[in-house]
């Protein structure tokens, strides 16, 4: 029998976006070049040669976008600020027009009673800093502090929820090790020093944000998908240890006071990316800086990955007994990611009981399906509704397990520029017609409106 299951009172139903993926206006009003501007303008890097030059044109259409959020009834909105829009050269001169843009945005959100959650860094580093070494060098962490100071002094009285970094593991690996994201390097050693400087900049930023934004709640968002083990074999367990070590424990352990995991350091030495267990980029006190207490952990959850001893690229990392032809079934999204809702419950429960953050938020979760308007103009994205419903139910199971989950931000408010995939992947609750920039609510947005109003799901 179907049952109505309620979420805790005050649960924050939200939507999430990121500056480079939606704003456009890449060189307007004094904005500096970012590493994503440079990367997308380099031929061959992005599917179909797409760029974020105009994206959803949110820079000019932000009022309409807030109106849409208000119509859906969201309680909170997670956005990111663009560092090169505010400090075009990364440090030094402040671009007042950039600050004004975010000030207007935040004021309008508050006016509509939507709580802003601001991410300071969602991957769009100023290109000038990249030319000085990017996240490989310590001076970028120092520059991040300057940027954090400018933006939190400007908005700290009104914004009370801050996220320092979005997915530092994805930034470091996809950007510095695998080369799929800006700045496109393929160097494991560089990705390790990048990861350290990302974490260090987080540790330095937290007390500064507390100073500039009294009573602020501060966290960091990690990409944590469920990692399963393909078989009971020792080799597959070993594969799991290695990949979860490099992608999860390498970040979470130092953030929660345990330092860098010794087994991962040994793996990296074996791979030749470190000479010995002395990490040359770690200075005295860095680890205590990184372990600064925070108020919440943001979790970005999409899918399950299976660890196996045989080397297969991630997108083809099929669970045992799943054949290629079965992938087109309804439990695979167009990103090639498996729909695995129970993984969200497991991830939230594991993170809470392993690291004990005071609170958690799902800061991203969603799916890519390209359902377009039918002849009658209606977008029947039933698969997205199904995905969200199952993931909301999994969140509720985590809450029932005792996890202090404060809210859920659907990725994403609207279709947008999906990094190396360009516009080919559509994650939005709202359809974007990229030729006219017209916005159209998908059925999932209308369904979400009802969930928010009821604060419950029916299963």
Q: Which residues bind ligand FCB (CB under 6 A)?
A: 18, 21, 166-167, 170, 223, 300, 364, 411, 418-419, 427
The Cα 146–Cα 149 span in angstroms is 5
Identity of the residue, 147 or 411, whose beta carbon is nearer to ligand FCB in the bound complex = 411
SS3 letters across 337-350: CECCCHHHHHHHHH
Min dist CB 122 to ligand FCB, Å, is 6
What is each CA distance from 369 to 157, 328, 380, 389, 395, in whole angstroms?
39, 12, 11, 15, 22
From the CA atom positions of the chain, what is the Rg in Å? 21
Active-site hit among 33, 167, 338, 418:
167
Please write down the long-range contacts of 142-148, taking CB distance under 8 Å and 24 or more positions apart: 142/204, 143/87, 143/90, 143/91, 144/120, 144/201, 144/204, 144/205, 145/201, 145/204, 145/205, 145/208, 146/87, 146/91, 147/83, 147/86, 147/87, 147/90, 147/91, 147/120, 148/120, 148/205, 148/208, 148/209
* Residues 29/101, Cβ–Cβ less than 8 Å: yes
Identity of the residue, 69 or 171, whose beta carbon is nearer to ligand FCB in the bound complex = 171
Min dist CB 20 to ligand FCB, Å, is 9
The Cα 232–Cα 245 span in angstroms is 18
Min dist CB 18 to ligand FCB, Å, is 5
E strands along 286-385, which residues? 296-300, 304-307, 360-364
Identity of the residue, 26 or 427, whose beta carbon is nearer to ligand FCB in the bound complex = 427
Q: Which two tokens stand for residue 401?
A: 């397990």
Min dist CB 376 to ligand FCB, Å, is 29
Identity of the residue, 55 or 170, whose beta carbon is nearer to ligand FCB in the bound complex = 170
Which helix (H) or strand (E) segment holds residue 439: the answer is strand 438-441
Identity of the residue, 83 or 411, whose beta carbon is nearer to ligand FCB in the bound complex = 411
Catalytic-residue membership of 364: yes
Residue 207 burial (CB count, 10 A): 12
Active-site hit among 364, 400, 418, 459:
364
Identity of the residue, 95 or 300, whose beta carbon is nearer to ligand FCB in the bound complex = 300
Identity of the residue, 21 or 317, whose beta carbon is nearer to ligand FCB in the bound complex = 21
Catalytic-residue membership of 342: no
* Residues 429/62, Cβ–Cβ less than 8 Å: no
Min dist CB 419 to ligand FCB, Å, is 6
The Cα 283–Cα 222 span in angstroms is 24
Residue 225's contacts (CB-CB under 8 Å, 6 or more residues apart) are 301, 302, 303, 304, 305, 343, 347
* Residues 307/229, Cβ–Cβ less than 8 Å: yes
Identity of the residue, 62 or 419, whose beta carbon is nearer to ligand FCB in the bound complex = 419
* Residues 166/121, Cβ–Cβ less than 8 Å: yes
Min dist CB 277 to ligand FCB, Å, is 30
Tokens 């999409």, residue?
Answer: 302
* Residues 201/141, Cβ–Cβ less than 8 Å: yes
Min dist CB 354 to ligand FCB, Å, is 21
Min dist CB 263 to ligand FCB, Å, is 25
Q: Any idea which residues carry the catalytic annotation?
A: 167, 364
């Amino acid at each position: 029998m179907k049952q109505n299951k309620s979420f805790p009172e005050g649960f924050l139903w939200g939507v999430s976006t990121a500056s480079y993926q939606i704003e456009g206006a890449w060189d307007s009003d004094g904005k500096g070049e970012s590493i994503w501007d440079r990367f997308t303008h380099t031929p061959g890097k992005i599917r179909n040669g797409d760029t974020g030059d105009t994206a959803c044109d949110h820079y000019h259409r932000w009022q309409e976008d807030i109106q849409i959020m208000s119509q859906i009834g969201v309680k909170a909105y997670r956005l990111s600020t663009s560092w090169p829009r505010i400090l075009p050269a990364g440090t030094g001169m402040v671009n007042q027009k950039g600050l004004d843009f975010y000030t207007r945005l935040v004021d309008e959100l508050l006016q509509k009673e939507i709580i802003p959650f601001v991410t300071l860094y969602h991957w769009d580093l100023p290109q000038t800093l990249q030319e000085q070494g990017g996240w490989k060098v310590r001076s970028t962490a120092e520059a991040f502090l300057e940027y954090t100071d400018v933006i939190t002094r400007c908005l700290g009285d009104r914004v009370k929820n801050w996220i320092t970094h979005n997915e530092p593991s994805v930034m470091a690996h996809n950007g510095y090790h695998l080369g799929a994201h800006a700045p496109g390097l393929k160097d494991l050693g560089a990705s390790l020093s990048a990861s350290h400087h990302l974490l260090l900049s987080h540790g330095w930023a937290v007390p500064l944000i507390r100073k500039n934004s009294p009573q602020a709640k501060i966290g960091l968002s990690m990409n944590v998908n469920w990692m399963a083990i393909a078989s009971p074999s020792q080799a597959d367990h070993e594969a799991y240890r290695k990949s979860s070590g490099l992608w999860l424990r390498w970040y979470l352990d130092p953030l929660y006071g345990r330092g860098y995991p010794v087994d991962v350091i040994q793996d990296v030495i074996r791979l030749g990316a470190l000479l010995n267990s002395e990490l040359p980029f770690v200075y005295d006190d860095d680890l205590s800086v990184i372990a600064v207490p925070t108020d919440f952990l943001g979790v970005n959850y999409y899918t399950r990955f299976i660890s196996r001893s045989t080397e297969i690229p991630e997108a083809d990392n099929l669970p045992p007994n799943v054949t290629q032809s079965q992938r087109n079934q309804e439990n695979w999204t167009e990103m090639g990611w498996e729909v695995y809702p129970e993984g969200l419950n497991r991830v939230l429960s594991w993170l809470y009981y392993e690291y004990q953050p005071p609170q958690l938020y799902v800061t991203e979760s969603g799916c890519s399906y390209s359902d377009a308007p039918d002849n009658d103009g209606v977008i029947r994205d039933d698969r997205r509704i199904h995905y969200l419903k199952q993931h909301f139910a999994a969140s509720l199971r985590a809450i029932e397990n005792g996890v202090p989950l404060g809210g859920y931000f659907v990725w994403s408010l609207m279709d947008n520029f999906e990094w190396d995939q360009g516009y080919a992947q559509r994650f939005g609750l709202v359809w974007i017609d990229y030729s006219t920039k017209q916005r159209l609510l998908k059925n999932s947005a209308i369904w979400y409106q009802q969930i928010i109003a009821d604060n419950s799901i029916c299963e």
